[in-house]
Amino acid sequence: MSAADDLAAALPPLHAQTLQALLASLRADPRLDAALGGGSLAHGALDAHSDLDLVVVVRDADYPAVMAERRAIAGRAGPLLSAFSGEHVGEPRLLICLYGPPLIHVDLKFVTAAMLDALVETPAVLWARDPASLAAMLAAARVHWPERDPQWFEDRVWIWLHYGAIKLHRGELFEALGMLAHLREQVLGPLLRRHAGERQRGVRHLDFVPALRERLLPTVAGYDAAAVRTALAACAALYLRLRAETPPPQPVDGMPDTLLDFLAAPGTRGD
């Protein structure tokens, strides 16, 4: 029994079936040299609601052709309903796929062996034509999760909070609610994870950590101007508490007072 078979045996049935079909299809293409498992496949946390994240290693000479044929390659593995590339997340090598029915989300990232020199995590080897060579490449790779430093958050959070307040004052509550979600995803969630000694991974799974969930709940609002104002103020307050743990070298002048004064001022349509 191969390592991939052992892994598939531990997965939910749909994930196991989809993974085995993908690997069989990829093996049949001589231009492809390996398939690696990332995300929850790599760190053993996959459940019935997870995506399948695969990294497909392509031979150098065939890479342009494979990139041009990615959708057809994905389609050979099963009933592909839809697919699009990942430029919106800064990863054009990624093909985001929906298979089904039953529905399952699969991410396929196509790389060459040389692109394995820098990784955000150590992947699981699912299949390789030359396992020893691939293992050596992975052992030599620099593995680094892209953590953001305190100044990154400080330079952005007050601008984003002001944007949310502007939308509130104009009466564009959908925009303001979107900014609240953005602040949780890009600022508050990552900082809460840093405080907990974890990787900065947005708000993923924070619902299941009661202490962290309770800290975020005041930043959630419904379609109500007063609730949005309260939630924006709660975002600023939580950020300041989290910022105090690791202060930025250059705090933005006048904050939070200038922002809070602006937030408290009567709006034109949102009040």
pLDDT band at 39 (very low <50, low <70, confident <90, very high): confident
pLDDT band at 267 (very low <50, low <70, confident <90, very high): low
State the chain's mean pLDDT as an integer.
93
Range 68-82 average pLDDT: 97
The Cα–Cα gap between 175 and 212 comes to: 25
137-155 pLDDT, tens per residue? 999 999 888 889 999 999 9
What share of the chain has pLDDT > 90, as a percent?
Answer: 79
Answer yes or no: is pLDDT of 5 > 70: no
Segments making up each domain of the chain, as ranges: 3-143, 150-264
Sheet holding 104-112, edge to edge: 80-86, 91-99, 104-112, 52-58, 32-38, 124-128
Architecture in CATH of 150-264: Up-down Bundle (1.20)
What share of the chain has pLDDT > 70, as a percent?
Answer: 95
Range 57-68 average pLDDT: 98
Answer yes or no: is pLDDT of 24 > 90: yes
Weakest-pLDDT range from 1-15, 163-177, 200-214, 216-230: 1-15
- Determine phi and psi for 132, rounding to 5 degrees: -65, -45
97-112 pLDDT, tens per residue? 999 999 999 999 999 9
Range 214-233 average pLDDT: 97
Contacts of 7 (CB under 8 A, 6+ apart): 19, 37, 41, 124, 126
183-213 pLDDT, tens per residue? 999 999 999 988 877 888 888 888 988 999 9
Range 27-35 average pLDDT: 97
The Cα–Cα gap between 78 and 154 comes to: 46
Burial degree of 57 (CB within 10 A; 0-12, 13-18, 19+): buried
Amino acid (1-letter code) at residue 4: A
Answer yes or no: is pLDDT of 3 > 70: no
* 170 compared with 199, residue with greater pLDDT: 170
Answer yes or no: is pLDDT of 268 > 90: no
Range 69-80 average pLDDT: 97
pLDDT band at 4 (very low <50, low <70, confident <90, very high): low
Residue 270: per-residue pLDDT: 47
Weakest-pLDDT range from 37-51, 76-90, 107-121, 156-170: 37-51
Residue 6: per-residue pLDDT: 67
Answer yes or no: is pLDDT of 55 > 90: yes
Contacts of 238 (CB under 8 A, 6+ apart): 188, 215, 216, 218, 219
- CATH number of 3-143: 1.20.140.10, 3.30.70.890, 3.40.50.300, 3.30.460.10? 3.30.460.10
Contact 32, 56 (CB under 8 A): yes
Residue 146: per-residue pLDDT: 84
pLDDT band at 2 (very low <50, low <70, confident <90, very high): low
